[in-house]
Amino acid sequence: MERKCYAKINLSLDSLYKREDGYHEIDSIMTRISLYDKLIINKNKNGKLNIKTNKKELDNISDNLIYKAWDLLKDKVEDPGLDIVLEKNIPIAAGLAGGSTNCAETLMALNDLWNLNLSMEDLFNLGKKLGADIPFFFLKKSARAQGIGEILTPFDINLDMKILLINDGTQISSKFVYDRLKDYGTIDNIKLIKGLENSRKSVVKKFENVMEDVVYEAYPHLREIRDSLYNFKCEKALLSGSGASIFAIFFDEDDISKAYENLINKYKFVERVSLIDD
């Protein structure tokens, strides 16, 4: 069995307040992009989970969200042994929810492979146990995310945005950013969603991520990357999630092509991506 695990970006991200449970109440617009990891899953006869990846950073299996997904479901079958190969293409600790999408896709794959007949609600509840971003990937739609990210309202994006994604190899812990995050509650995501539904190009300039203040103070070189993208006439350049990836939105094909050609050899990861909105 093979599965694609699509990354996501936050077109908008606001923090409203810190909750009593320590999480931040957020209001965000999330959408999947065409960048993906690949999972190859096969049954084995030893009752154990074996994971192979192309990234040494993920060698600690007990820390891996794929392992945690398997661990949640393994007692539902007599023989839970699996060999999983993870082909990692999404940069790690990059604000693109690579671990979350791997986890969500593993839960969905095991539901099919083991004929568990789990409902979407069941999957949502399992995903929430493992991470706030995970339920989003069960939707397979763009969505407004509220709460800690688990309250989801899907909608359609009807705007053709050309996106250039850049990651220079910097890895940022989400906890590092959230621990230093101020509360804002200033972004009108309802208005932004209406603009995206109604194909209004002007809405792109109003995308915002309140985490940028924390990230750019700690990692000023990332601000320089963001600012440099405007030299190539992008409509908006923004940090995704808690970083360190930065995406630039274009409408003009020549402009994004020129940016790609000039930056492809400058940073560790530069890729043109499109929105995936099933």
Across the chain, where does the E strand assignment appear? 2-18, 24-43, 49-53, 82-87, 143-147, 151-154, 162-167, 236-239, 246-250, 269-273, 275-276
Residue of 210, 205, 208, 209 whose CA lies nearest to 195 = 205
> For 181, how many CA atoms within 13 A lie in the half-sphere containing its CB?
28
- How many other C-beta atoms can be found within 10 angstroms of the C-beta atom of residue 77? 15
Closest CA to 236 of 209, 272, 270, 198: 209
- 82-87 and 49-53 as β-strands: parallel, antiparallel, unpaired? parallel
Catalytic annotation, residues: 8, 133
Q: Closest Cα to residue 12, out of 215, 213, 204?
A: 204
Burial 236-250 (b: 16+ CB within 10 A, else e): bbbbbbbbbbbbbbb
Residue identified by tokens 């993870």 is 86
